[in-house]
Chains A and B, each alone.
Chain A
Amino acid sequence: DVKVTQSSRYLVKRTGEKVFLECVQDMDHENMFWYRQDPGLGLRLIYFSYDVKMKEKGDIPEGYSVSREKKERFSLILESASTNQTSMYLCASSLAGIMNTEAFFGQGTRLTVV
């Protein structure tokens, strides 16, 4: 069974802290994604990566960075957490190829910044 695992289900952090959200997939997928999910806004893409050490900005990259040192792991970093980054964060992965394919999601990390 395919699996995308996010390291934490719930996190509470203070304003100004550096926050790391970790995601691991066991499907040998090339593509990995970080989304945030807010009520009424759906899922918005923060960053994605189509290969090790490669990264591309999504629609809302400000205040975030990412790291992909190994194929199976994609980390989202909040350099200095702010209250407007309180959200549900979802990691996903998918196969690369000439045809678009479905993305598999982790269970999500609900981050609260106080």
Chain B
Amino acid sequence: GESVGLHLPTLSVQEGDNSIINCAYSNSASDYFIWYKQESGKGPQFIIDIRSNMDKRQGQRVTVLLNKTVKHLSLQIAATQPGDSAVYFCAESFFSNDYKLSFGAGTTVTVRA
């Protein structure tokens, strides 16, 4: 079946720099996307979401970009902090799939001091 995937399994970022985490999806019917952050020993926590009628959405220090033409999703974190070290997952769903979220494999972000 179709799946959500992340481009890179790991990302090392200097504290204070901006981070960009990428995600490719293959289901053109997907209309809802979420980014989750999972810290060590915890369950995934919601960061930001975006619907397919948008191409950009901003939160506090985070921005999600959606390019439906190439089926690409990215999460940008501004001024990366040590507390941003975690595994980041993108997830997708679409209207007719009973609200199930399909997850990518995750990107582990490590922030260097």
Contact = CB atoms under 8 A, between A and B. Distances in A.
Contact of A94 (B1, B4, B99): B99
Most buried by B among A4, A33, A94, A100: A100
B98 A48 contact: yes
Nearest to A90: B43
A48 B101 CA distance: 11
B25 interface: no
A103 interface: yes
B31 A100 contact: yes
A31 B45 contact: no
A104 B31 contact: no
A107 B46 CA distance: 13
A108 B42 contact: yes
Given A42-B105, A102-B49, A31 B89 contact: no
Interface of B is mostly: loop
A64 B43 CA distance: 21
Contacts, number: 61
Interface string A42-76: 11110010100000101100000000000000000
Count class of interface residues, chain A: 20 to 34
Contacts of A99: 32, 51
Most chain A CB within 10 A, of B51, B99, B104, B105, is at: B99
Interface in B23-81: 31-32, 34, 36, 41-46, 49, 51
A40 B105 contact: yes
Given A45-B102, A94-B99, A102-B49, 7 more contacts: A31-B99, A42-B103, A50-B98, A99-B51, A100-B93, A101-B99, A107-B41
7 tightest CB-CB pairs across the interface, nearest first?
A105-B43, A100-B32, A43-B103, A42-B105, A42-B103, A102-B46, A100-B93
11 contacts: A33-B100, A42-B89, A42-B105, A45-B101, A48-B100, A100-B31, A100-B94, A105-B36, A107-B41, A107-B43, A108-B41
